[in-house]
Amino acid sequence: MQPVLVANKLSKKYGKVVALDSADLELYPGEVLGVIGDNGAGKSTLIKVLCGAVIPDSGEILLDGNKVTFTSPIEARKLGIETVYQNLALSPALSITDNMFLGREIRQKGFMGSFLKFLDKKAMADEARKRLSDLGLLTIQNINQLVETLSGGQRQGVAVARATSFGTKVVIMDEPTAALGVKESRRVLELIGEVRSRGIPIILISHNMPHVFEVADRIHIHRLGTRLCVIDPKKHEMSDAVAYMTGAKQPPQD
Amino acid sequence: MNKVSDDISKDLKDQPKFTTDIGEKDQDHHSFDLGEQTTLKKIQHFLHGNPTIVPVIILILSVIAFGFIAGGKFFSAFNLSLIVQQVTIVGILAAAQTLIILTAGIDLSVAAMMVLASVFMGKLSVEMGVPTLPAIAVGFISGIATGAFNGILVTRLRLPPFIVTLGTWNIFFALVIFFTGSQSIRSSDIEVNAPLLHFWGERINLGGFVFTYGAFLMIGIFVFLWFLLNKTAWGRHVYAIGDDKEAAELSGIRTDRMLVSIYAVAGLVVAIGAWVSIGRVGSVSPTSFYEGNLDSITAVVIGGTSLFGGRGTIIGSLFGALIVGVFSSGLSIAGLDVLWQRFALGCLIIVAVGIDQWIRKVSA
């Protein structure tokens, strides 16, 4: 099976600090790939390179087998790599609909839209409602509710719905449960399952080992700027993963 | 120490098992209700969702209050229409100012920009023999250019708008003095050479209420900007940038280009104000509207737009300008000294910003 996204020998130095040392990564269709690593292992640099926020010194990125280059998250997004940032990148004072279509608004048809540039609010609201209900978030009563009136988990839901709405090939989720309570985290983990069931592969970066082990199909362990190993969460214990991560134990050879 | 460990053990107890099945007790987090609310919280939420309500209430209350204090004179058609005439210029400046403040910026140079544009209109048409319409067009270009100049400095040099516009306020003011040599262009000269410049000062009598054309134009500007802000992507992006610039950037909005365009549109609105101001004042005076910068900010703030950006309505600023007009008129009819008008206005500003801060806490 051809991977959707491949990172090939990515390197990045900041002065003398080697953040990425010819790191590899593969993401297969329909899977959740957990990415874990100790602080300073370079996993956030890896993710920033994949989402376009950092330009690597060397190495290449293949999307659907084609080499791609991008210099900003916006370019990466145009190619179908969507990122749900830890801070979500939502505008709290705008409505759910406005946020979902921010920068990609739907205009009215005909003169009103093409000349007067009027927005088709109804079409956007309908589409937003559909996206949210697809993800099992139908209980949002008012699609024109302001995002700041939503809870942390609900905001995450809006950000995920936005990330999966526009011909997305890959979703990168950066610490989606870090700021959430227990119940809200549950909901977000369910959400990850919903996105996967719709065939969109996810790269999940998290410090929360139980969460990663719960939803990931494979776990990429990052250490000292490169990929140490990829493990199957069903065949390994959390304590093993921590041991590999910290270098206390040698990774399996397979 | 005990409390902490109790909390932790409680958390651990509440922690669901790490399996994919979700028990029934977890279902309630699907609901989006806001939980139990006190009356005060409800008011807070309501005001939060309807930011224009506060200025409307203040306007109604102040009209009623001044009706009592100042008596029937206040409610005379003449006085009410005078209030509208008096707020026209500050209202137009406030409309432009609202755009800037919504982006979490501030523009201290709007009045200087306006006077500069009016100087171009007056100088060219009255003293240099340029036909009036092209002279007005040059004034509009001046407004757009000075606005865009502010925007470019804010985005390219990454300077705070406060500093940029503090600087350009002085620069534009110096240019005004340079071009005019501190001389006013007299109203009678304008009447003879370019009567079109006085167009917006013409009056129309509607059943005792006397309105200038400029007052209608002001309303028209507010309605137009309302549509722009609420019905177009451009308008939503104004709010998004003011709310969280980083988030807007990550959402694919080219924030720097947007900001320059917002400052330029504000400049155009200011230039329209310049034309109206010639009709209102009659002459073009290099030292007029010296307090227009701060008056426009006052109107916007009283109108419920947050100085921290992303929150507020353009119509609120119209009410804000009207409130200022009602206060000045009411207090002077009641025979109070100008110093008390200032005093009352100062209190109003602080109360308005205080209410805004309180409303903003709703999301916390």
Q: Of B29, B310, B311, which is closest to A153 when you measure between CB atoms?
A: B29
The angle formed by the CA atoms of residues A46, A47 and A53, to the nearest 5 degrees, is 100
At A1 the pLDDT is: 82
- Does residue A70 lie within any of the structural domains? yes
Would the CB atoms of B252 and A93 count as touching at under 8 Å?
Answer: no
Task: Establish if B362 touches chain A: CB-CB under 8 angstroms.
Answer: yes
Q: Considering chain A, what is the average pLDDT of its residues?
A: 87
| Helix (H), strand (E) at residue A186 | helix A182-197
Residues of chain B contacting A88 with CB distance shorter than 8 Å: 247
> Residues B141, B145, B146, B147: what is their CA dihedral angle, to the nearest 10 degrees?
100
- Does residue A131 lie within any of the structural domains? no
Q: pLDDT band for A138, please (50, 70, 90 cuts).
A: low
Which is nearest to B89 in space by CA: B348, B306, B324? B324
B51-357: CATH topology is ABC transporter involved in vitamin B12 uptake, BtuC (1.10.3470)
At B170 the pLDDT is: 95
Which is nearest to B290 in space by CA: B150, B161, B177? B177
- Domain parsing of chain B, residue ranges: 51-357
pLDDT at B7 over 60: no
- Does residue A30 lie within any of the structural domains? yes
**Cα→Cα distances A131→A80, A125, A139, B126, B361, Å:** 17, 10, 12, 61, 30
CA atoms within 13 A on the CB side of B188: 0
Would the CB atoms of B243 and A182 count as touching at under 8 Å?
Answer: no
pLDDT at B112 over 60: yes
The angle formed by the CA atoms of residues A48, A52 and A55, to the nearest 5 degrees, is 80
Rounded Cα distance, A220 and B237, in Å: 38
A 54-93: CB under 8 A from B: 73-74, 77, 83, 85, 87-93
pLDDT at B262 over 80: yes
pLDDT at B322 over 50: yes
Cross-strand pairs, A11 = A58
Task: Establish if B21 touches chain A: CB-CB under 8 angstroms.
Answer: no
Query: Domain range for residue A63?
Result: 5-90+168-246
pLDDT in tens, A54-94: 899 999 999 998 999 988 888 888 899 998 888 888 888 88
- Does residue A79 lie within any of the structural domains? yes
Compare B174 and A74 and report the one with higher pLDDT.
B174
Q: Helices marked H in chain B — which ranges?
A: 2-14, 39-49, 53-70, 77-102, 110-122, 132-156, 161-180, 187-193, 213-231, 233-243, 245-250, 255-281, 292-302, 314-333, 338-360
Residues of chain A contacting B246 with CB distance shorter than 8 Å: 87, 89
Q: pLDDT band for B362, please (50, 70, 90 cuts).
A: low
At A129 the pLDDT is: 86
**Residues B26-45: what's their mean pLDDT?**
59
Residues of chain A contacting B231 with CB distance shorter than 8 Å: 118-119, 121
Among A113-117, B139-143, B319-323, the range scoring the smallest mean pLDDT is: A113-117
Rounded Cα distance, A225 and A135, in Å: 35
> Going by C-beta distance under 8 Å and a sequence separation of 6 or more, which residues neighbour residue B190?
B122, B125, B126, B197, B198, B278, B282, B283, B284
At A44 the pLDDT is: 84
**DSSP code of residue A117:** -
> Residues B135, B138, B143, B148: what is their CA dihedral angle, to the nearest 10 degrees?
180
pLDDT at B105 over 80: yes
Residues of chain B contacting A141 with CB distance shorter than 8 Å: 32
Residues of chain B contacting A74 with CB distance shorter than 8 Å: 250, 252
Residues of chain B contacting A117 with CB distance shorter than 8 Å: 232-234
A 176-235: CB under 8 A from B: 182-184, 186-187, 189-190, 193, 210-211, 213-214
Would the CB atoms of A102 and B236 count as touching at under 8 Å?
Answer: yes
Rounded Cα distance, A6 and A210, in Å: 26
Which is nearest to B294 in space by CA: B165, B144, B118? B165
- Does residue A35 lie within any of the structural domains? yes
Secondary structure class of A34 (helix, strand, coil): strand
**DSSP code of residue B123:** I
At B34 the pLDDT is: 47
Compare B11 and A158 and report the one with higher pLDDT.
A158
The whole-angstrom distance between A105's CA and the closest CA on chain B is 6
- Does residue A20 lie within any of the structural domains? yes
Q: pLDDT band for B28, please (50, 70, 90 cuts).
A: very low
pLDDT at A157 over 80: yes
Among B95-109, B169-183, B203-217, B258-272, the range scoring the smallest mean pLDDT is: B203-217
Rounded Cα distance, B240 and B255, in Å: 9
Task: Establish if B246 touches chain A: CB-CB under 8 angstroms.
Answer: yes
pLDDT at B226 over 90: yes
Q: Of B26, B239, B363, which is closest to A183 when you measure between CB atoms?
A: B26
pLDDT at B364 over 90: no
Q: Of B19, B234, B248, which is closest to A91 when you measure between CB atoms?
A: B248
**Pairing outcome for strands A32-37 and A218-223:** parallel
- Does residue A126 lie within any of the structural domains? no
Decide if A13 contacts A58 (C-beta within 8 A). no
Residues of chain A contacting B232 with CB distance shorter than 8 Å: 116-119
Q: Interhelix angle for B314-333 vs B53-70, to 10°?
A: 10
CA atoms within 13 A on the CB side of B83: 26
Residue at B281: amino acid letter: V
Rounded Cα distance, B125 and B138, in Å: 10
- Does residue A76 lie within any of the structural domains? yes
The whole-angstrom distance between A30's CA and the closest CA on chain B is 18
**Residues B163-172: what's their mean pLDDT?**
96
Q: For chains A and B, what is the number of CB pairs under 8 angstroms?
A: 111
pLDDT at B301 over 60: yes
Decide if A97 contacts A83 (C-beta within 8 A). no
Q: Considering chain B, what is the average pLDDT of its residues?
A: 85
Task: Establish if B310 touches chain A: CB-CB under 8 angstroms.
Answer: yes
B 24-53: CB under 8 A from A: 26, 29-32, 34, 45, 48-49
Total domain count for chain A? 1
Residues of chain B contacting A105 with CB distance shorter than 8 Å: 233, 236
Decide if A201 contacts A31 (C-beta within 8 A). yes
**Residues A24-39: what's their mean pLDDT?**
91
pLDDT at B23 over 70: no
Compare A138 and B129 and report the one with higher pLDDT.
B129
The whole-angstrom distance between A165's CA and the closest CA on chain B is 13
pLDDT at B244 over 60: yes
pLDDT at A112 over 80: no
Q: pLDDT band for A141, please (50, 70, 90 cuts).
A: low
**DSSP code of residue B127:** I
Which CATH number covers residue A238?
3.40.50.300
